[in-house]
A and B are shown apart, each in its own frame.
Chain A
Amino acid sequence: MATQTTQQVEEIEPFEAAQEIEGGDVVLVDTREPHEYQEAHLENGKLVPPGLLGDEIAAAAPDKSARTILYCRSGNRSYKAAEQLQALGYEDVASMAGGILAWQEQGLPVVAASGMTAEQRDRYSRHTLLPEVGVDGQLKMLNAKVLLVGAGGLGAPTALYLAAAGIGTLGLVDDDVVDASNLQRQVIHNTERIGVPKTESARLTIEALNPDVNVVEHRLRLDSSNILEILGEYDVIVDGADNFPTRYLLNDASVRLRKPVVSASILSFDGQISTFVPFEGPCYRCLYPTPPPAELAPSCSANGVLGVMAGTMGLLQANEVLKLVLGIGEPLIGRLLLFEALSTRFTELKVRRDPDCPICGENAPEIADEDLGKFPDYELFCAG
């Protein structure tokens, strides 16, 4: 009969663990509960709660021969977990004596929710539970500055969800006032706000939704005299403009300032979206070298637009923004995604950098500030 001898678990002091972690090639496992992990944990510590050890350890620590250091709050749970791992065949396991309490007493660093209040930890708990977001990611969002160009069909849903997500600073560019005909899709406004400037209406809704968000109202139209200064204040730009001159101006200025732009447009039942990261992928002019003539560029006010489709595209924009802020996933760089609401069909097209692009190409000429957004070789282009 085979007998299993309980092997003594190696215990190491926090400073020893710190040295090993710094040396690399260590799998670090946090054997506490999710709420404790959220509060504070060691950098790169992988959460495997005691009750889920059997199910989750293989994913957290796939190599049984790798050096594996376990820790918990004070060293008891990690010791027991280490015994279990040894029984599962892990060959090189250690438990950190005294746990994260001893670690912190020795002044060693943790990833703490310290940047967040108790109310914020509660509010964003469904984000911080996601390993790809975590407390670090939520803090990135709270520190992020995102500019929304247009607080209309696209900007309204985008702003609402970015505010809920806890984007710390939301700039809103729009010089229009709320009209009754907006309310079928611009869900950030409401009936009582008809006649109120859109930036103000959006700010009131956002402040009621999430007091963490600082809303900056830019009640104006972007032009070559103000765009560089305004874009300069932000990390990510969202293009939900309703006209071509603003879209080309925004492109040219964002390439100049190397700011990423999440760009969507909508008409009738159809929408399209791409993410332009200057010099990493194509820019808007690589995709659309020139704007179409007026008869091929109707507006939503002339042709109509399905509100739900606008909302869908706005949320796809918000999704792109969060990925850029968090540095996770695969943004729509070099890809144009089409959405057709009537057939519920998504189509992805490739977009390539144009080596001859007048804005981001290798031989792109210097452009004076006042010429941003212009078409020097395109006389038919009408700004208006």
Chain B
Amino acid sequence: MATIRIPPVLRPQTGGQPEVEASGSSVGEVLRALTGAHPDTESQLFGPDGDLNRYVNVYLNDEDVRVLDGLDTPVGDADTVIIMPAMAGG
């Protein structure tokens, strides 16, 4: 099971949990496991075309999946997937 770190803005959709365990062998599968368990996260992560929304950054450990293989990037059990939207608070 990989670990997904949930940003503050998405925590209302995960029952307040800052981290969620999810199974899957790719970033896409892991995120789909998250949206399966917490359906309210779906529209905030994915656009109608099934791709990640452009305003959502997803990292596998410390690397942006955009410079890896995107949603097809392989994920291992020890990996952490970090969802990181821009924040504007000052």
Contact = CB atoms under 8 A, between A and B. Distances in A.
A343 B19 CA distance: 12
B38 to A, nearest CB: 15
A241 B87 contact: no
A291 B90 contact: no
Contact of B63 (A267, A291, A305, A350): A350
Interface string A295-325: 1111110010100000000000000000000
Contacts of B62: 347-350
Interface in B31-90: 44, 53-57, 59, 62-64, 67, 82, 84-90
B87 to A, nearest CB: 4
Contacts of A299: 88-89
The 10 closest A-B pairs by CB, nearest first: A288-B86, A242-B90, A292-B55, A265-B87, A240-B90, A267-B89, A300-B89, A268-B8, A150-B90, A266-B89
B89 A350 contact: no
A188 to B, nearest CB: 14
A349 B64 contact: yes
A351 interface: yes
Interface residues of A, number: 46
A267 B53 CA distance: 21
B88 A297 contact: yes
A289 B84 contact: no
15 contacts: A152-B90, A155-B90, A265-B86, A265-B89, A266-B87, A267-B9, A268-B8, A270-B87, A289-B54, A292-B53, A292-B86, A297-B87, A303-B89, A338-B84, A349-B59
Chain B interface size, as a band, is 20 to 34
Nearest to B67: A352
Interface in A222-280: 239-244, 247, 264-270, 272
Instruction: Point out which of A155, A295, A350 has the most chain B C-beta atoms below 10 A from its C-beta.
Output: A350
A241 B67 CA distance: 28
A182 to B, nearest CB: 12
Interface of B: 7-10, 18, 44, 53-57, 59, 62-64, 67, 82, 84-90
A12 interface: no
Contacts of A266: 87, 89-90
Contacts of B86: 244, 265, 287-288, 291-292, 297
Instruction: Point out which of B8, B62, B87, B90 has the most chain A C-beta atoms below 10 A from its C-beta.
Output: B90
A153 interface: yes
Given A292-B55, A296-B55, A347-B62, 6 more contacts: A247-B88, A272-B84, A288-B86, A342-B18, A348-B62, A350-B62
Contacts of A268: 8
Nearest to A303: B8
A351 B55 CA distance: 15
Contacts of A292: 9, 53, 55-56, 85-86
Contacts of A243: 88
A270 B88 contact: no
A267 B64 contact: no
